[in-house]
Amino acid sequence: MSLRASPQPVPTPDGGSDFAAALARCAAGDGAALRSLYDRLAPRMLGVALRLVRRRDLAEEVVHDTFLAIWEKAAGFDPARGRADTWMFAILRHRALNVLRGEARNDLVDDFEPLGLADDGPDAEAIVAALSEAGALRRCLERLDPVRRQAVVLAYTHGLSHGELAGRLGQPLGTVKSWIRRGLLVLRECLA
């Protein structure tokens, strides 16, 4: 897996309200607004989806479905309840996870090994290393034991289930579950 040396910056609050304005225009039926969201977000979304579902065709399908969902549900976005980019990425992740957990499961396993997932340790560490050094998330993830950090990061970025994490980390399911729970508690406190 190739990671960029410096990740895309997290959108600024300004970018967020910009996205919110575009969503409001989508809700009013303005296709150009959806296109502008697509131009700005589709490459990042495709990258996130590809890392989750691992197959290019499925990742493109996830992005396709995500933009149709954004279009259809734009009127339901409420800026008072959260950021527009977070809302759109939540749709993407939800769709990708459903692909992972459900309909395409059988196809996915065929492509599991060639993508370098067998060696997860360095991958999870590389993801953490790609986080901004100045960011709180990196500082807080680095406070976790390496195994807990790895479990949390792989669950989020690669969509691994508890069972898959147990298999990959060679640990009982209960151990992995408690690692994640403990890890999340530490993260919550650290990021508060």
Partner 1 sequence: MTSDLHDRLAAEHVLGLLEGAEQDLAEALLAEDPAFARLVEDWRGRLAELDATAAPEAPPPALWSRIEAGLEDRRPVETTPSPAAPRRPAERPSLWNCASFWRPLGLAAAAASLVLAVALGVTVERAGRAPALVTVMLSADNRPAAVVNTYPDGRTELVPLTQVPVPEGKSLQVWTLWDRERGPVSVGLLDALRSIELGLSSLPAPAVDQLFEITLEPEGGSPTGRPTGPILMKGTANRAL
Tokens of 93: 């992740």
Amino acid letter, 73: K
- Within 146-165, which residues bind partner 1 (CB under 8 A)? 152-153, 155-157, 159, 161-164
Pick from 42, 125, 139, 147: which binds partner 1 (CB under 8 A)? Answer: 42
Least separation in angstroms between residue 135's CB and partner 1 is: 6
Closest CA to 92 of 132, 52, 133: 52
The residues, any chain, with a CB within 8 Å of residue 22's CB and separated by 6 or more, are 33, 34, 36, 37, 84
Site for partner 1 in 50-79 (CB under 8 A): 50-51, 59-60, 63-65, 67-69, 71-78
- Residues that bind partner 1 (rule: CB under 8 A) add up to a total of 100
Q: Do residues 177 and 162 make contact, with C-beta atoms less than 8 angstroms apart?
A: yes
Q: Does 130 bind partner 1 (CB under 8 A)?
A: yes
3-state helix, strand, coil in the chain (%, to 5): 75, 0, 25
What part of residues 75-114 is at the interface with partner 1 (CB under 8 A)?
Answer: 75-78, 81-83, 85-91, 93-95, 97-98, 100-103, 105-106, 109-114
Q: How far is CA 42 from CA 6, 21, 38, 45, 176, in A?
A: 19, 18, 5, 5, 33
Question: Cα separation of 172 and 175, whole Å?
Answer: 5
Q: How far is the CB of 171 from partner 1 (least distance, A)?
A: 9
Among positions 18, 47, 143, 147, the unique one binding partner 1 when judged by CB under 8 A: 47
Query: Exactly one of 44, 125, 143, 147 binds partner 1 (CB under 8 A); which one?
Result: 44
142 binds partner 1 (CB under 8 A): no
Per-residue binder mask for partner 1 (CB under 8 A), 15-34, x = binder: -----------xxxx-x--x
Tell whether residue 125 is a contact of partner 1 (CB under 8 A): no
Shorter beta-carbon distance to partner 1: residue 31 or 145: 31
Query: Please, what is the Cα angle at 14 between 191 and 81, to 5 degrees?
Result: 60
